Amino acid sequence: MTVTVSAGPPAQPADRARAKALQDLQADELDRIRAGAVAWRNGLGALLASLLGFSLVKGREDVTQLRPSYAIAVGSLLLAALIVGAAAAVLVMRAAHGRPYSAALPGNDVPDPAAAARRIEADRSERALGWGVRLVFGCVALLTSAVAVTWYGPEKDKPRIEVQMLDNSRWCGEVVLVRTGWLTIKTAKGQVAVDLSKTATVAATDACPN
């Protein structure tokens, strides 16, 4: 079987115009991606700044007021947000300003090495920007979770005391008020005023018996 290859029809003005438009589009692609990355960087930075400012508007600010397990959770979320945010910043900066070293060169068989190098860099910048944006929103989610746990997490238990009376009755709870000769304790059944002159022992305790 013989295959005959021949020239196609001559290019029309519309074909040449389309080819030139595609060439111009690829030539400007890297600059457009870099300009878009700068805009994304500024917008995402403003978003993070507003989120950090909002977190200081109201709510609990001291994680030491939380139960230990919730305080550890807040610390873990903040550490994860820091790592994710740092990775996002590096990727967005890489998309906006390129790599801090020389560009990758295509092989010798490429007819236009400069155009191919720009295309490679444009593709890498596009991927870096896409992942950077995803990680920024991941950082926002982690920060929001940390703020929510800080605001709404349960407080750690306050110091409690157990009072044994001379008649062997016991009261246990948080100290509400201390005045001369009397001690007011908040127990599970409500507030109780204890006459200190009738107490046998007063001791601190981590938890009250049920």
Question: What residue spans define the domains of the chain?
Answer: 22-152, 160-205
Q: pLDDT tens digit string along 2-59?
A: 777 766 677 666 655 555 555 655 556 667 777 778 877 887 777 777 766 665 545 5
**Cβ 92 vs Cβ 41: under 8 Å:** yes
pLDDT tens digits for range 78-91: 899 889 988 988 88
C-alpha distances (whole Å) from 141 to each of 86, 111, 133, 144 are: 15, 46, 13, 5
Q: What is the pLDDT of residue 70?
A: 87
Write out the two tokens for 110: 């490429």
User: What's the confidence (pLDDT) of residue 76?
Assistant: 92
The pTM is what?
0.62
Does domain 160-205 correspond to CATH entry 3.30.70.1070? Answer: no
Phi-psi region of 181 (alpha: psi -120 to 50; beta: other; left: phi over 0): left
